[in-house]
Amino acid sequence: MSETPRDKRNHRRLTTLSLAWLAISRRKRRSIISIVLLSFVIGSSITIGSTIGRFPTWVSALSTTSPTVLLTYERSSPLVGLIPANSTIPLSDQSAISSVSGVSDVTPLIVKDIHTSLSDNPSLVVGLDINFWQLSLGLNKGHWPEPNSSQAVIAVSNPSANLPSSLTIGNESFEVVGVALTSDLILVDSVIISYTTAQTLFSLEHSTSIFLIQVNSRADPSIVSNQIDQIDPALETIDLSSSAQLLNTVTEVVSSISNTVVLAEAIFAFVILTTLTISSINTRRWEYGLVSSYAGRTSVFKMILFENWIIFVLAIIPAFSIGIGVLGYFTYYFNLLFGIHVSADFALGAANQTLLGSTTLLLNYTAAFVATTLGSILAIMIVLPKIISRALVDQQA
């Protein structure tokens, strides 16, 4: 029984695919370099895109799980970020603020922007005994300062930072008993001491620096803020909670960054495959000339294209592993910054679900595949006709 035209086409495709795989397996060095480079580019894009893509979710989660927190301080006090560093307000205002409708908790804090032995620049010295989550701090090691003690905790952004065993604030020496992690750049290198110790150190027995005010979910923060400001004309109150406007801004920024990352990935993949294809064609002139003589230029074209598609398929597997690994690390570290300890298996599992359940993976794979195809076609169209013509001439000679 003779072969139909369709059977012949299928046979030619299988033959071309076999030749492409044979070429990849024979040239292991070139194939490994291509797979490593392409998987690194795709994996980096997946990692960056998926990580920044999680930020709106993280911001939203923090804004919904954290209670609304207001900060009240002396109106004339200068701000360091959102923290009034040298505010002074009477402690007697605490009872009046606590009686405002909608207020569920009032926490006095002492904050001073002064020189310490920790660095040449002024450091924020924070005196508090409770509710450390309110300053976005998570204790990494050691313990919090005991009340009425000369103990201190240093806040850092890097858990492996080398820190002194003691420091001096004014004329007082403090033992460093703990290290706190923070994602707030304002609080990096700040020093936390006991609230009662800070009262004595800064002569604030009847005053404090600020009040952190927790508002219940049923109250309107703006109304509560206005009522607090009416208690004392010297007071100013601001809302520290995440807002919908902030979330929208983060989402817009993340979207633009994600698009840029995917475009950069496509460009790198295009350049890598174009360069490697041109190099491959130049080093295999005789082989392509021979295939072209017996099967035609179309078969050579398909064989090169199949080679690069196989390399692309082999590259997406390690690329996916890179994406899971790095996103899992960021998931673990982000939770750690906010005092939530999760296992490595949980972080990797969450990263896997994030990638499989989002459009980031498909978008990056599609961009890389299109770039791979276009890069291959460009290289083939530019170099292959000359190479084949030269090879045919050499064969005839």
Query: What are the tens digits of pLDDT across the range 33-89?
Result: 777 887 877 777 777 766 666 655 555 555 544 567 788 888 888 776 667 777 889
- How many Cβ atoms are within 10 Å of 333's Cβ, its own excluded? 13
The per-residue b/e assignment along 14-27, b for 16 or more CB within 10 angstroms, e otherwise, is: eebbebbeebbeeb
Instruction: Give domain status of residue 3, yes or no.
Output: no
Which residue segment(s) compose the domain that 157 sits in? 68-241
C-alpha span between 248 and 75 (Å, rounded): 30
Q: What is the mean pLDDT of residues 136-157?
A: 85
Are 288 and 167 members of one domain? no
Give the whole-angstrom CA distance, residue 170 versus residue 6.
Answer: 89
| Residue where a domain stops, chosen among 241, 261, 287 | 241
Residue finishing a domain among 218, 241, 264: 241
Q: Which residue has the higher pLDDT, 55 or 127?
A: 127
Are residues 18 and 80 both part of a single domain?
no
The pLDDT, as a whole number, for residue 316 is 84
- In a domain, residue 211? The reply is yes
- Domains held by the chain: number: 2
Q: Say whether both 113 and 220 belong to one domain.
A: yes
Q: What pLDDT shows up at residue 1?
A: 46
Mean pLDDT of 231-248: 68
pLDDT of 174 strictly over 80: yes
Q: What average pLDDT does the segment 327-348 reach?
A: 72
Task: Note whether 262 and 348 are same-domain residues.
Answer: yes
Q: Which of 179, 208, 241 is the last residue of a domain?
A: 241
Q: Based on the fold, state whether residues 231 and 101 are members of the same structural domain.
A: yes
In a domain? residue 164: yes
Residue range 197-210, pLDDT digits in tens:
999 999 888 899 88
Instruction: Name the one residue in this structure whose structure tokens are 């797979």.
Output: 35
Whether 2 is in a domain gets the answer no
> Residues 72, 97: one domain?
yes
Q: What is the pLDDT at residue 243?
A: 47
Say if residue 98 is in the same domain as residue 45.
no
CA distances, 71 to each of 83, 105, 236, 238 (Å): 9, 12, 8, 5
State the average pLDDT for the chain: 75
pLDDT at 167: 93
Residues 6+ apart with CB under 8 A from 162: none
Q: Are residues 138 and 97 in the same domain?
A: yes
pLDDT recorded at residue 244:
42
